């Protein structure tokens, strides 16, 4: 049976990790998968995480099952971090810990499918390349509309709303909370206000993918858009990831929040917990236990916030330096967070890899965190030269 299987296309972002690892050139540059790197090009375990790991090793008394919803202390702390003062009441919000932001999105898709299999998912492109397969795997149909008119351009919300004119009540609109992947161009406060009014008028359900909180303008500023929506729309899904802001990539630490009215939130939480049970039973606890430990301890939380701020400032400084280093790269300076989308076509991307050992996905997205001050001018020259006029 399996002999007839075709290997299929590898995930383009994950394939880049392997291709970069296999490259023997000493001066190769990895601007591919979204992983933060420090000035030495490393992705160290954060100090707050290390301290929490030590503490957990000393104090954790059992590894017994927790249940499909996962770690309650983690969900409680993440609800505070995500929603702040706009945190919905417990009756309005159901929560499920998930194996990373990817499974959070998948479980969000599943709860939509269970509630209304005919609901369509509207993706604003370009978007994270894993968004379409996640929603397709849940059996939902996908509509694609434009987020921004060109690489480096700001999102055009009037155009987005115009393209959403065919959306039906109950359709889901996927938005990113901050540090847009891949463009780095975020929605403004006015954009969120226009979206909220439109979504309410048309009875559409926003799904906010929040994967980079703290890496754009700061923890609260990066959550302002979703908090605004949370106070205004009757129903909403929010997925969170601790991969980047806690550096817990391989620990798969995330969650999904479902906001609804009446019994909607409780019923949705029960539905996703049932679905999780059939898919992976329950999420891995280690990363969630660390996050709970950090956020519930004032000293660890302070250390973590300081480390996150250092990361945020480093990304912003690198972005500024990149934008100043070549006229073609100037538009990247207006973005936020880890990514910038450069006007480089797949041939240009290929040439950067073969000639200069610079690795990035075919759509021209770069991970700003992969840049280093010492080599930035040289890399910028190659990137700038590869940009289409
Ligand atoms: C990325 O877009 O590079 C990250 O979100 C990592 C991933 O899982 O794709």
Task: Name the helix (H) or strand (E) containing 339.
Answer: strand 339-341
* Mutation to probe ligand 1, out of 130, 338, 367 (largest number of atoms < 8 A from CB): 130
Q: Evaluate the omega torsion of the peptide bond into residue 73 and state whether it is cis, within 30 degrees of 0.
A: no
CB of 212 closer than 6 angstroms to any ligand 1 atom: no
Task: Specify the residue with its C-alpha closest to ligand 1, atom 4.
Answer: 34
Q: Is residue 8 pLDDT above 90, yes or no?
A: no
Distance CA 92, CA 232 (A): 13
CB of 13 closer than 6 angstroms to any ligand 1 atom: yes
Give the atom of ligand 1 at the shortest distance from the alpha carbon of 32: 3
Q: Residue 13's pLDDT is what?
A: 86
Q: How is 192-243 classified by DSSP, letter by letter?
A: HHHHHHHHHHHT-EEEEEE--TTSSS-TTGGGHHHHHHHTT-S-EEEEEE-T
Q: Residue 209's pLDDT is what?
A: 98
Note whether 326 and 380 are within 8 A (CB): yes
Distance CA 150, CA 152 (A): 6
Give me the CATH topology for the region 2-45+299-386: 3.90.1150
Q: Residue 363's pLDDT is what?
A: 93
Distance CA 389, CA 377 (A): 20
Q: Is residue 152 pLDDT above 90, yes or no?
A: no
Find all residues with CB under 8 Å of 378, minimum gap 6, and list them. none
- For the chain, what percent of residues have pLDDT higher than 70? 100
Three-class SS state of 93: strand
Q: Taking residues 26-37, what's their average pLDDT?
A: 95
Task: Specify the residue with its C-alpha closest to ligand 1, atom 5.
Answer: 34
What confidence tens digit (pLDDT) does each residue in 350-359 have?
Answer: 999 999 999 9
Distance CA 249, CA 251 (A): 6
Q: Taking residues 356-382, what's their average pLDDT?
A: 95
Q: Determine the distance separating the centroid of ligand 1 and the alpha carbon of 61, expressed in angstroms.
A: 34
Query: Which ipTM did the prediction report?
Result: 0.94
Q: Taking residues 49-61, what's their average pLDDT?
A: 97
Find all residues with CB under 8 Å of 250, minimum gap 6, and list them. none
Three-class SS state of 362: coil
Please state whether 113 falls in left (phi above 0), alpha (psi between -120 and 50) or beta.
alpha
Q: Residue 11's pLDDT is what?
A: 85
Task: Specify the residue with its C-alpha closest to ligand 1, atom 1.
Answer: 34
Q: Determine the distance separating the centroid of ligand 1 and the alpha carbon of 127, expressed in angstroms.
A: 11
Task: Name the helix (H) or strand (E) containing 266.
Answer: helix 264-279
Give the atom of ligand 1 at the shortest distance from the alpha carbon of 33: 3
> Considering just the CA atoms, what is the radius of gyration of the chain in Å?
21
Give the atom of ligand 1 at the shortest distance from the alpha carbon of 130: 9
Give the atom of ligand 1 at the shortest distance from the alpha carbon of 11: 9
What confidence tens digit (pLDDT) does each residue in 123-139 have?
Answer: 999 999 999 999 999 99
Q: How is 309-335 classified by DSSP, letter by letter?
A: HHHHHHHHHHHHHHHHH-GGGGGGGG-
CB of 134 closer than 6 angstroms to any ligand 1 atom: no
* Mutation to probe ligand 1, out of 12, 16, 34 (largest number of atoms < 8 A from CB): 34
Q: Taking residues 225-234, what's their average pLDDT?
A: 97
Distance CA 103, CA 110 (A): 10
CB of 100 closer than 6 angstroms to any ligand 1 atom: no
Q: Residue 225's pLDDT is what?
A: 98
Q: Is residue 389 pLDDT above 90, yes or no?
A: no
Q: What is the DSSP letter of 37?
A: -
CB of 128 closer than 6 angstroms to any ligand 1 atom: yes
C-alpha pair distances (Å), 318 with each of 41, 96, 154, 321, 385: 13, 36, 20, 5, 19
The position carrying tokens 């291709």 is 19
Domain segments of the chain as ranges: 2-45+299-386, 61-298
Q: Which residues are catalytic?
A: 128, 209, 211, 244
Nearest to 105 by CA among 176, 10, 34: 176
Nearest to 38 by CA among 375, 383, 373: 373
Note whether 358 and 348 are within 8 A (CB): no
Q: 61-298 — its CATH code?
A: 3.40.640.10
Nearest to 357 by CA among 17, 20, 11: 20
Equal fold, 2-45+299-386 vs 61-298: no
Read off the tokens for 223: 């959550």
Nearest to 372 by CA among 362, 358, 351: 358
Predicted model pTM: 0.97
Q: Residue 176's pLDDT is what?
A: 98
Q: Considering the chain, what is the average pLDDT of its residues?
A: 96
Q: What is the DSSP letter of 188?
A: P
CA of residue 255 relative to chain centroid, distance:
12
Task: Specify the residue with its C-alpha closest to ligand 1, atom 6.
Answer: 34
Q: Taking residues 235-254, what's their average pLDDT?
A: 98
What confidence tens digit (pLDDT) does each residue in 267-315 have?
Answer: 999 999 999 999 999 999 999 999 999 999 999 999 999 999 999 999 9
Q: Taking residues 57-74, what's their average pLDDT?
A: 95
């Amino acid at each position: 049976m399996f002999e007839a299987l075709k290997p299929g296309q590898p995930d383009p972002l994950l394939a880049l990790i392997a291709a970069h690892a296999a490259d023997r050139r000493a001066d190769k540059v990895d601007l591919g998968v979204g992983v933060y790197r420090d000035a030495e090009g490393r992705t160290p375990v954060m100090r707050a995480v290390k301290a929490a790991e030590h503490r957990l090793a000393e104090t954790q008394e059992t590894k017994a099952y927790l249940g499909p919803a996962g770690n309650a202390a983690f969900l409680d702390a993440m609800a505070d971090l995500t929603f702040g003062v706009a945190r919905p009441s417990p009756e309005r919000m159901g929560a499920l810990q998930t194996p990373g932001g990817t499974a959070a999105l998948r479980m969000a898709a599943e709860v939509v499918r269970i509630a209304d299999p005919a609901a369509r998912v509207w993706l604003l492109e370009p978007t994270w390349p894993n968004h379409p397969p996640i929603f397709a795997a849940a059996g939902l149909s996908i509509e694609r509309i434009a987020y921004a008119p060109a690489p480096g351009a700001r999102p055009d919300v009037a155009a987005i709303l115009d393209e959403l004119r065919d959306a039906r009540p109950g359709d889901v609109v996927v938005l990113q909370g901050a540090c847009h992947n891949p463009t780095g161009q975020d929605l403004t406060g006015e954009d969120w206000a226009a979206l909220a009014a439109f979504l309410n008028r048309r009875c559409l359900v926003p799904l906010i993918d929040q994967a980079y909180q703290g890496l754009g303008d700061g923890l609260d500023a990066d959550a302002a858009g979703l908090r605004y929506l949370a106070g205004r729309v009757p129903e909403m899904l929010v997925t969170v990831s601790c991969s980047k802001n806690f550096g817990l990539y391989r620990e798969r630490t995330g969650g999904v929040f479902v906001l609804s009215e009446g019994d909607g939130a409780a019923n949705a939480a029960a539905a996703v917990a049932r679905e999780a049970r059939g898919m992976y039973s329950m999420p891995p606890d280690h990363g969630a236990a660390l996050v709970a430990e950090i956020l519930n301890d004032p000293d660890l939380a302070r250390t973590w916030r300081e480390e996150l701020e250092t990361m945020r400032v480093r990304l912003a400084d690198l972005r500024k330096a990149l934008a100043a280093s070549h006229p073609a790269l100037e538009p990247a300076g207006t973005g936020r967070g880890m990514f910038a989308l450069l006007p480089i076509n797949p041939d240009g991307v290929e040439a950067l890899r073969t000639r200069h050992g610079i690795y990035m996905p075919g759509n021209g997205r770069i991970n700003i965190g992969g840049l280093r001050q010492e080599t930035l001018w040289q890399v910028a020259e190659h990137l700038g030269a590869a940009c289409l006029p």
